[in-house]
Amino acid sequence: MPLSFTPPFTSSGRSALVQAPPWHYAGWLVNVAFAFDAARGATLVPLELGEATGQGCVHFADWQACGDDGHELLDPVYAQYRETIVVLEIDAKEGEGARFYCPLIYVDQDISMLRGWLQGWPKKIGQTWVTRSLPLIHPAAAPLSAGSRLGASLSVKERRLVDARVTLTGEKAGRLGFLSAPTIGAVGWPDLTQPERAAVPRYLRADIIDRVESGWTAGSASLQFHAHPVEELALLGEVRATTASAGWMGITVRGALAA
Amino acid sequence: MPLSFTPPFTSSGRSALVQAPPWHYAGWLVNVAFAFDAARGATLVPLELGEATGQGCVHFADWQACGDDGHELLDPVYAQYRETIVVLEIDAKEGEGARFYCPLIYVDQDISMLRGWLQGWPKKIGQTWVTRSLPLIHPAAAPLSAGSRLGASLSVKERRLVDARVTLTGEKAGRLGFLSAPTIGAVGWPDLTQPERAAVPRYLRADIIDRVESGWTAGSASLQFHAHPVEELALLGEVRATTASAGWMGITVRGALAA
Amino acid sequence: MPLSFTPPFTSSGRSALVQAPPWHYAGWLVNVAFAFDAARGATLVPLELGEATGQGCVHFADWQACGDDGHELLDPVYAQYRETIVVLEIDAKEGEGARFYCPLIYVDQDISMLRGWLQGWPKKIGQTWVTRSLPLIHPAAAPLSAGSRLGASLSVKERRLVDARVTLTGEKAGRLGFLSAPTIGAVGWPDLTQPERAAVPRYLRADIIDRVESGWTAGSASLQFHAHPVEELALLGEVRATTASAGWMGITVRGALAA
Amino acid sequence: MPLSFTPPFTSSGRSALVQAPPWHYAGWLVNVAFAFDAARGATLVPLELGEATGQGCVHFADWQACGDDGHELLDPVYAQYRETIVVLEIDAKEGEGARFYCPLIYVDQDISMLRGWLQGWPKKIGQTWVTRSLPLIHPAAAPLSAGSRLGASLSVKERRLVDARVTLTGEKAGRLGFLSAPTIGAVGWPDLTQPERAAVPRYLRADIIDRVESGWTAGSASLQFHAHPVEELALLGEVRATTASAGWMGITVRGALAA
C-alpha cells in the first residue's frame, strides 16, 4: 500500500491524514519574545542539545496551508488552523549561530498535528486566539500601525495557559524566534510491543524553502504563562516580554534535516 | 438591576451576554451573489414584506467586533467569530430602492448570536470557513489578485449546508447583498406562559454608521445549498452564482430602526 | 408565518431554532450543594425576589432532550447537550416553602440556549464535563457505589470557571437544588430601537410535569468557583460544598408560569 | 529524558501527550454489524493481511479512559471522548478463527488519537454522536428495552460521514465486531528526512485484559456511509445493516502484540 504517506493505510492513499510534502504555509503571526531564568530551561530543553540561554519566543499563528495543487484553499477547513508555538534559544555550538528548540506547541487541527510530529514539533490540541490586523481605519480593525492593540491566548483542556497583549509601535521589527534561526525539534514514538520503554527522541529541523514575508511591525508586549495541572510552560518561572512583532509570512517545507 | 443590558441579570451587569451598543465590527468578507427561482422565495420571505425578486447573496464573514473601549481585541475569543449570512432581495416599495431580507444566518459565538437576534438577524450556531487573502505572493496566501482561488463553507449540526468557490478576476467590484441596500430582519420571541402561541415577528433593520471599506475585488463563483433535515436553504431550488467579491469592511451598529 | 415558534421565521417553521413545547429532558446529573456568605448573594439575586439564604447548588447535567415524536434521539446532535446550572436559595415568602433562583447557567448547544432564555434560565455558551457512572465494575467506570470518584468542570471563553469533585458514599440522597424546590428565572430582552434602555426582567418558572428519577446516590464534594474577567460566580466568595448527589432524572416542560 | 513516554519530551514527562500503559477504558457502545460487497474490501484491507469477507461492524463509542491512579476521572476532559470505529472481517488463516482489521477510526480528543496510532488504530479527528440509554422510563431516556430507538452519527471536517439508527428488540445479543474477535491494525510513520518514502505499516493488535461487560441488548438497524471528498468509507459501496447491539464494556490495554 505504497500510496498512503501516513495512516490510515488504504489502497488509494486518499484518506491518509497527511500527504507527502511539499507543504506550503502562509499566515498571520504575532510574535512575543521573552526572557526567563536560564537555569529553569533544563526542565524543557534536552541536555544533549545544549543549555537554554534564557531567551525564548511565543508565536501565535493563524495559518493557511496546502499542497502543490492548492485544493485545500477551496475547502478551507482543510487549510486553516491556529497554533501557539513556544521556542527556547539554546547556546550555540562552537562556530555556529543561534539555534532554537521547540519544547511545546499547540494546534487545533489533526492534519497539522501530525505534520508537526513528523517534523519534530510535538503538537497537542489547544485553542489559539489572536487578533488580526485588518487594512482598515476602524475601532475593530487593529490595523498595522502605531497604537493598535492586539491580544492572543492559548487554552489547553479548557484552561487558559498563555495570555499575551501587544501594542504596536508602528516601527519596523527584525525577525524573532523561529523566524530568526534554525529551530530543532524531537521526533520519536514508543513501540507498544515494548510498553515499558519510552520513545527515544531523534532531533530534526524542518527543511524550509521559499520564505516570503510582509515585513514585521514592532510592538511592546506583556506575556503570562499560567499554571496548569499537565502543561509545563509555567515551569519556566516568571517570563518577561522583551519585544514583539506582527506580520505575514509564507514558507514551504519539503522535508526534514538531521539537527 | 438596570445595568444588565441582556440576561443574565446581575447587580453589576458585568456578565450580561451582550452589552449595550455601539457595536463595532470589522472583517473579511467573501460575497457570492446568486439568482434563483423567485417563486420559491415565499418559503423564506414573509408575505407582508413583499416578494422575492430571485436575487440573493451569501456573505461569508470573518469578523472582529468590540465595544467602545476595544477590550475585546485584547482577549480575542471575545472579539472574533465567523458567520454565513443569507440575504434575499425583495421587490422595492413604490418610490424606494432595493431592499434585502435576511431569512437565515449562522454564527459560531453566543455573543454574536444574541446581538443578531436583537437586530433581526435570526442566528443559529453554524461553522463557517472562509479562505483569507494574505498580502503575500505564496501558494497558500490566496492574495487579492487575478487568479487567486478562495473557498467557503457552512455546516450546521454536523452537516455541510453551503459550499462556495470564488476565482478572483482582480477587477474592482461594486457592493453586493447587504453591503448594497438596507436589509430587514425579524425580531420576536414567544411567551412561554402562553406556549400555544408562536412568536410574532416585528421588522427591523440595523442602524449602521461609520462604514469603511477596503474596496472590493471581483470574482466568478460557484455556489451550492445542500439538502438538510432541518435547515431550509435548499428550498430555494437551484441557485446560480452570478458574481462575487472579496474585501474588508468596518461598520458600527448603534441600534435598530423600524423597517 | 405562524408556524415558526421562534426565529428564524419561515413559512414552514421547520428551521425555527426552537419548536413549541412540550420539551422532554432526561439526563445524568451530578449535584453539589454549597454554602456561601449570604450577604454576597445580592450581587446575583434581584432584590425584588428576596434575599439569598447562603445556600446554593451547582448541577452538572448531561442531557438528552426531545419533542413528542422523539426524532432528536435518532440524530443525537439535536438531542444531547451538557450544562452547568447554578441556583441560589432565596428566603421563603410568608407561608411558602423554599425557592431557588437561577442567576447563571452555561450550555453547549444553541437549541438549549434559546429554550433556556424563554424559561428564564439565562444561558451562555460554556463547556461542561462530568464523569458518568457506568454499570460496570472497572477502573474507568466510576459506578454508582461507595468510593467512586467523579469530577466535573465548566469553562467559559477558554477559562476554567468551576471545578468540582465528588466521592460517592453509596448512601441514598435526598433532592438538591432545583430538584428540591421551585426555581425562578428572569426573562427579558432589550429593544434595540431604544438602545439606551436595558432589558426589564420578568420572573418565571418552568411548568414541569412528569418527573421521574432513578434515585440519588450521596457523596461528599469539593467545589471551586474561579475568578474570571467576565463571569461573576467568584463574587459569591468562598464556597463550601456541603453535600452532593448523582443520578438520573427525566422531566417534561410544557411552558412557564409567573413566579 | 526517559520519562516522556511520547512527545513532548520534557525532563519530568508530565506533559507527554500519552502516558505509558496500562490504559483502562469503560464506555457505552452502540454496535452496528453490516454486510457489503466483499470484492470492494480491497480498497481498505491490505492484501498481505487477507481478503475481506464482506462482513463488518461500526462501533459508536462514548468512552471514559484513565490510567492506574484514575485521576482523569476527576477532571473528565482528560477521560472522556467519543469515537466511531470501523472494522472489517478478514478471511481466517488456516486453523485460526475470525479476525477483524480496522481501516478507519475517528475520535474527538488528541490523547486518544495518539494512543490509537500506537496500537494500530489510525485515528483522525471526527465528531461522533450516539444516543445513550438511561435507566428511566421517559420519552427522552431511550432505556435499554424493546422499542427504544437510538441514533448515531459521525462527521469529519464538517460533513456527515456515517448515520445509523437502531431500534432495540430487548433481546440479548452476542458480541459484534471488535468485541468478538482479535482486531488488527497498522502502525507506521514516515521519516521526513526521506520525504519521498511513505510509511511502512507494521501489523499489531492491542494486548487487552480484564474485559467486563454489562451484557448486550439486541436491535435492528439501518446504516449509511456517505460520500466524502477525502474519507473512503463510501468505497465499500452499499452497506446493509445485519444486526445491532448496545451496552457497556470495560477493557484494559497493557500494550500491543504482533498481529
List per-residue pLDDT tens for chain B, 259 residues long: 458 999 999 999 999 999 999 999 999 999 999 999 999 999 999 999 999 999 999 999 999 999 999 999 999 999 999 999 999 999 977 777 889 999 999 999 999 999 999 999 999 999 999 999 999 999 999 999 999 999 999 999 999 999 999 999 999 999 999 999 999 999 999 999 999 999 999 999 999 999 999 999 999 999 999 999 999 999 999 999 999 999 999 999 999 999 8
SS (H, E, C) A90-107: ECCCCCCCCEEEEEEEEE
pLDDT on residue A93? 75
Of B108, D28, D223, B180, nearest to C157 by C-alpha is B108
Q: Where are the alpha helices (DSSP H) in chain C?
A: 110-119
C-alpha cell at A198: 519510552
Peptide bond before residue C8 is cis, with ω within 30 degrees of 0 = yes
pLDDT on residue A1? 39
Pick from D8, D187, D190: CB nearest A122: D8
Question: Is pLDDT above 60 for D102?
Answer: yes
The answer to whether C158 contacts B196, with C-beta atoms less than 8 Å apart, is no
pLDDT on residue C2? 54
Whether C107 and C115 have beta carbons less than 8 Å apart is answered as: no
Residue of B nearest to C187 (CA): B7
Whether B207 and B183 have beta carbons less than 8 Å apart is answered as: no
DSSP per residue, B80-94: EEEEEEEEEEEPPPT
Query: What average pLDDT is seen over chain A?
Result: 96
Q: Is some CB atom of chain B closer than 8 A to the CB atom of C90?
A: no
Of C94, C244, C83, C102, nearest to C181 by C-alpha is C102
Q: Is some CB atom of chain C closer than 8 A to the CB atom of D142?
A: yes
Asked if this assembly's ipTM is beyond 0.90, the reply is: yes
C-alpha cell at B106: 449562522
Pick from D21, D110, D257: CB nearest A125: D110
Please report, rounded to a whole number, the percentage of residues in chain A having pLDDT higher than 70: 99
The answer to whether B214 contacts A136, with C-beta atoms less than 8 Å apart, is yes
C-alpha cell at D2: 526517559
The answer to whether C104 contacts B15, with C-beta atoms less than 8 Å apart, is yes
C-alpha cell at B88: 434575499
C-alpha cell at C183: 426555581
Q: Is some CB atom of chain D closer than 8 A to the CB atom of B158?
A: yes
Q: State the Cα–Cα distance between residues B197 and D203, nearest whole angstrom.
A: 62
- Restricting to A residues 192-211, those with a Cβ less than 8 Å away from any Cβ of B are 210
Q: State the Cα–Cα distance between residues A49 and C87, nearest whole angstrom.
A: 54
C-alpha cell at C10: 419561515
pLDDT on residue B1? 40
Helix (H) or strand (E) holding A116: helix A110-119
- Restricting to C residues 10-29, those with a Cβ less than 8 Å away from any Cβ of D are 24-28
Q: Is some CB atom of chain C closer than 8 A to the CB atom of D126?
A: no
- Can you give the pTM of this predicted structure? 0.97
Q: Where are the domains of chain A?
A: 23-258
The answer to whether B193 contacts C258, with C-beta atoms less than 8 Å apart, is yes
Distances (CA, A) of C106 to A13, A165, B126, C129, D32: 42, 28, 18, 12, 34
Q: Is some CB atom of chain A closer than 8 A to the CB atom of C245?
A: no
3-class DSSP state for residue D142?
Answer: coil
User: Which one is predicted more confidently, B37 or D1?
Assistant: B37
C-alpha cell at A135: 487594512
Inter-axis angle of helices D110-119 and A110-119, to 10 degrees? 60
Task: Characterize the bridge pairing of strands B99-107 and B123-125.
Answer: parallel
3-class DSSP state for residue D108?
Answer: coil
Q: State the Cα–Cα distance between residues A50 and A35, nearest whole angstrom.
A: 17
Query: What average pLDDT is seen over chain D?
Result: 96
What is the rounded average pLDDT of the residues C250-254? 98
The type of residue at D183 is T
Q: Give the residue from A110, A156, A203 with the most D CB atoms within 10 Å of its CB, the best one to mutate.
A: A110
Distances (CA, A) of B138 to A210, A214, B135, B247, D15: 9, 11, 9, 19, 35
Cβ contacts from A onto C, under 8 A: 18
A23-258 belongs to which homologous superfamily? Acetoacetate decarboxylase-like (2.40.400.10)
Whether D36 and D236 have beta carbons less than 8 Å apart is answered as: yes
Q: Give the residue from C19, C112, C192 with the most B CB atoms within 10 Å of its CB, the best one to mutate.
A: C192
Q: Give the residue from B4, B15, B45, B233 with the most C CB atoms within 10 Å of its CB, the best one to mutate.
A: B15
Q: Give the residue from A9, A47, A51 with the most D CB atoms within 10 Å of its CB, the best one to mutate.
A: A9
Cβ contacts from B onto D, under 8 A: 18
User: In sequence order, what are the residues at sequence separation of 6 or more whose Cβ sits closer than 8 angstroms to the Cβ of residue B154?
Assistant: B60, B84, B106, B126, B127, B128, B160, B161, B162
Could you report the per-residue pLDDT of A49-99, keeping only the tens digit for each? 999 999 999 999 999 999 999 999 999 999 999 999 999 999 977 777 889
Pick from A8, A157, A192: CB nearest D119: A192
3-class DSSP state for residue C134?
Answer: coil
